[in-house]
Amino acid sequence: MSVHARLRDAAGESTWLQRTLLVGLVLSVAWSSWSVSPTDLTARVIRDVILFLLIPAGLAFTHGRELGFHVDRVALRDTLALAAFVFPFYLVGASLPSIRAYYPMWQTSTALGEFLPHALQQMLVVVAAETYYRGLLCVGVSDEFGVKSVFISPVVYALHHVGKPPIELLLSGPTDVLFGAVDYHSQSILPSIVAHGLGLTLLDWLALHEPVIPPEAVLDALRWLPVPL
């Protein structure tokens, strides 16, 4: 028997769902309790990679389970579709005063020597987040929960967005469901990693420049929303 199989048997594969949900809860509490400076992107990377990437990946390995770390034609097709769908939201969002006041979340500039390392570190944060929310709590338990796994993490995802612009908090739950549904369909977290990571990079870049769309036009079009913009 392989080492992998022995670890899986020792952990008790029949308890994968319970272990996943328990670990997911513990990691959420740990993430909220592990304070990092809001200006220190490197500290954020370290925290998120340990809690949201390494621990979930280790749990999946010991149980012989998958978290969506694979690429095939379906995943590539869904990645392109999701990225194309969310692009207008980032474009419009970058013109909102509340978004422009908040982003970039960490200090950077338009100089490529500074912006590219910043974007790469942010991508690590995104990979870790998608491994936890869409990997561990969605794709990872999809065999047991089926399509209902899409609805496991939206509340946690929204809670972790508290303190961000109100419009982003409002959209965080629906965004989680959308990303989870696409990842569930492809059984890969590539779509959400690309859409989230490149979208965040685009948002930072746009926020550092003059708005592409006049803020007045965006505010007028979205004045019906029940949150300050």
In the numeric block, the tokens 């993490």 are attached to: 153
**pLDDT of amino acid 11:** 46
**pLDDT of amino acid 7:** 44
Cα of first residue to Cα of last residue in the chain, in angstroms, is 59
pLDDT digits (tens, 9 = 90+) for 148-182: 888 887 777 767 766 678 888 788 778 888 998 99
The structure's pTM equals: 0.87
The phi-psi region of residue 157 (left if phi > 0; otherwise alpha if psi is between -120 and 50; otherwise beta) is alpha
SS3 141: helix
Instruction: Determine the distance from the C-alpha atom of residue 28 to the mean position of all C-alpha atoms in its chain, rounded to a whole number.
Output: 14
**pLDDT of amino acid 118:** 94
Q: Is a pLDDT exceeding 60 seen at residue 221? A: yes
Q: Is a pLDDT exceeding 60 seen at residue 9? A: no
Cis status of the peptide bond prior to 215, with omega within 30 of 0? no
Q: How far is CA 118 from CA 48, 79, 194, in A?
A: 15, 23, 16
pLDDT digits (tens, 9 = 90+) for 90-139: 998 899 998 898 999 888 889 999 999 999 999 999 999 999 999 998 89
Q: Identify the CA nearest to 185 among candidates 72, 84, 85.
A: 72
Angle, alpha carbons 177-175-184 (nearest 5°): 35
Q: How confident is the model at residue 199 (pLDDT cuts 50, 70, 90)?
A: very high
Q: How confident is the model at residue 208 (pLDDT cuts 50, 70, 90)?
A: very high
Q: Which amino acid is at 213?
A: I
